[in-house]
């Protein structure tokens, strides 16, 4: 008989993620205090310009901008572990950090690179363990229960395989916690950071979880923590000693019951699979109905803004698309949609605006409009598209359906 499977859930979190991604292009900074934060500054541009003739990895360490003397309102998004030794970390003001660690190197965030590596490490995990829940830019939950190696040594064997494969393919390190549920796995992934693995079983509750501060429970924020402290409860163990009824009296039915369960390490939330979006769209209902001719300027500006928002959403989620469409609702509440499929995958606001503009020409615009929407569908991940897309996304524009004469003679919006 096959051995009974016990529920094993992993939480994987990349180490000093934004900073580690920068170190991939500047490996000479490895082991040094580096903080990421603020916008791109003249100092960053100057660095690149002054060394335009050498590879990034050859820029001398001495030439990088330092925190010392920083003035401004920027905050740290993250810091390397070397910098954390000086007490700096996420969300701290850069000016304060400059006092604690003036020699730290200060670099801006490169969101395009961040998204690329975020997608890359998740794709690597999916190849090995398909039950993955995306929890943001640098972390995921993975259901190890039925994956080969997921039970061996409490999940350590599979955790090590994933960790090693991510490192081999990206040069990035991560930390993994494997536990009976998401709640405990999330805590465990921090136990041995960076580049660590921690295994937690139900029986470890008292030794490994109860001594921790209540704040370590994902879901207990600063406010709840303050209230707990006010009631004399500092650790998860102290929380676990409270009667359920007492917790409900102080925190209400829902939160009280949750605090009770969490302090006892109970959590039965499933790992929810990533679902691929079918389309990405934005629409807006106007404050007053707008007319294609009389309100042309206002409508044009709204149309452009919608296209920019869709382009930003696509970029944030890491997609490009081939089918661009519009939706209109008239003052009598009738709606129409038009779309057009182009040859190459696109994602930039300008191209979306151009193609959506062509779609709009196919609609008679004699009635007032209540709503305008822009949608991009037939999506592909940016990363996959980069390999297949030709570099001439605009050749397509001639290929779409041409507005008929009668429609073309109607008022034209947004040419």
Which residues lie near ligand TTP (CB under 6 A)? 13-18, 77-78, 90-91, 137-138, 193-194
The residue written with tokens 């401004």 in the block is 72
Tell me the backbone φ, ψ of residue 355, rounded to 5 degrees.
Answer: -70, -40
Give the span between the Cα atoms of 363 and 406, in whole angstroms. Answer: 10
Binding segment toward Mg ion, per CB under 5 A, in 40-48, 99-107, 136-144, 329-337: 136-144
Residue 13, interface with Mg ion (CB under 5 A)? yes
> What track of x and - describes contact with Mg ion for positions 78 through 97 (by CB under 5 A)?
--------------------
Min dist. Cβ of residue 186 to Mg ion (A): 10
21 close to 114: Cβ distance less than 8 angstroms: yes
Q: Rounded to 5 degrees, what are φ and ψ at 98?
A: -65, -30
CB atoms within 10 A of CB 387: 6
Question: How many residues make up the chain in this entry?
Answer: 415
CA distance 12 to 330: 49
Which position among 9, 10, 14, 187 is part of the footprint of Mg ion (CB under 5 A)?
14
Q: How many residues make contact with Mg ion (CB under 5 A)?
A: 5
What, of Mg ion, ligand TTP, none, does residue 137 touch, CB below 5 to 8 Å by kind? Answer: ligand TTP
Does 143 sit near Mg ion (CB under 5 A)? no
Nearest distance in Å: CB 37, ligand TTP = 8
CB of 221 or CB of 411, closer to ligand TTP:
221
Which phi and psi angles does 226 have, rounded to 5°?
A: -60, -45
| Contacted entry of ligand TTP, Mg ion, none for residue 78, CB cut-off 5 to 8 Å set by kind | ligand TTP
Tokens of 122: 């998740």
* Contact present, 19 and 78 (Cβ < 8 Å): yes
Closest approach, Cβ 109 to ligand TTP, in A, equals 7
Active site residue 202: no
In angstroms, give the least distance from the CB of 366 to Mg ion.
53
Joined together, the tokens standing for residue 179 give 């536990």
CA nearest to 237, candidates 253, 213, 271, 269: 213
Binding partner at 160 among Mg ion, ligand TTP, none, C-beta below 5 to 8 Å by kind: none
Which of 224, 207, 190 lies closest to 265, judged by CA?
A: 207
Strand ordering across the sheet containing 34-37 = 76-79, 34-37, 105-107
Q: Which is nearer to Mg ion, 13 or 295 (CB)?
A: 13
Shortest Å, Cβ 115 to ligand TTP: 12
Choose the one of Mg ion, ligand TTP, none that binds residue 212, judging by a C-beta under 5 to 8 angstroms depending on kind: none
- Is 33 in contact with 86 (CB distance < 8 Å)? yes
Point out the catalytic residue in the list 22, 113, 127, 139: 139
Q: Which of 22, 133, 138, 339 binds Mg ion (CB under 5 A)?
A: 138
The residues that touch Mg ion, with contacts defined as CB under 5 A, are 13-14, 17, 138-139
For the annotated catalytic residues, the residue numbers are 139
């Amino acid at each position: 008989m096959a051995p009974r499977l016990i529920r094993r859930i992993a939480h994987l979190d990349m180490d000093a993620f934004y900073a580690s991604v920068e170190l991939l292009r500047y490996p000479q900074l490895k082991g040094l205090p580096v903080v990421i934060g603020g916008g791109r500054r003249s100092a960053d541009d100057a660095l690149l310009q002054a060394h335009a003739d050498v590879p990034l990895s050859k820029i001398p360490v001495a030439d990088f901008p330092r925190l010392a003397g920083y003035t401004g309102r920027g905050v740290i998004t993250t810091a390397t572990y070397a910098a954390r030794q000086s007490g700096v970390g996420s969300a701290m003001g850069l000016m304060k950090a400059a006092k604690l660690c003036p020699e730290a190197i200060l670099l801006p965030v490169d969101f395009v690179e961040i998204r690329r590596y975020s997608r890359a490490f998740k794709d690597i995990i999916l190849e090995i363990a398909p039950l993955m829940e995306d929890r943001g830019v640098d972390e995921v939950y993975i259901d190890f229960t039925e994956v080969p190696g997921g039970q061996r040594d409490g999940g350590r064997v599979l955790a090590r395989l994933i960790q090693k494969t991510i490192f081999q393919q990206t040069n990035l390190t991560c930390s993994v916690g494997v536990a009976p549920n998401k709640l405990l796995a999330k805590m465990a992934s921090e136990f041995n950071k960076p580049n660590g693995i921690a295994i937690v079983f139900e029986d470890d509750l008292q030794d490994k979880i109860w001594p921790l501060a209540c704040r370590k429970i994902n879901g207990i924020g600063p406010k709840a923590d303050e209230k707990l402290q006010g009631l004399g409860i500092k650790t998860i163990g102290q929380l676990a000693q409270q009667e359920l009824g007492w917790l409900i009296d102080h925190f209400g039915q829902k939160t009280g019951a949750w605090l009770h369960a969490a302090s006892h390490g109970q959590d039965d939330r499933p790992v929810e699979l990533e679902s691929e979006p079918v389309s990405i769209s934005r629409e807006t209902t106007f404050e007053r109905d707008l007319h294609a001719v009389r309100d042309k300027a206002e409508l044009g500006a709204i149309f452009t803004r919608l296209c920019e928002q869709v382009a930003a959403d696509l970029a944030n989620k890491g997609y490009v698309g081939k089918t661009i469409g519009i939706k209109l609702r008239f003052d009598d509440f009738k709606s129409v949609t038009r779309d057009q499929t182009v040859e190459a995958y696109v994602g930039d606001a300008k191209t979306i605006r151009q193609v959506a503009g062509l779609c709009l020409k196919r609609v008679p615009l004699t009635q007032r409009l209540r709503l305008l929407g822009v949608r991009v569908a037939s999506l592909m991940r940016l990363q996959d598209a980069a390999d297949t897309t030709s570099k001439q996304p605009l050749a397509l524009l001639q290929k779409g359906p041409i507005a008929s004469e009668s429609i073309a003679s109607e008022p034209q919006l947004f040419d």
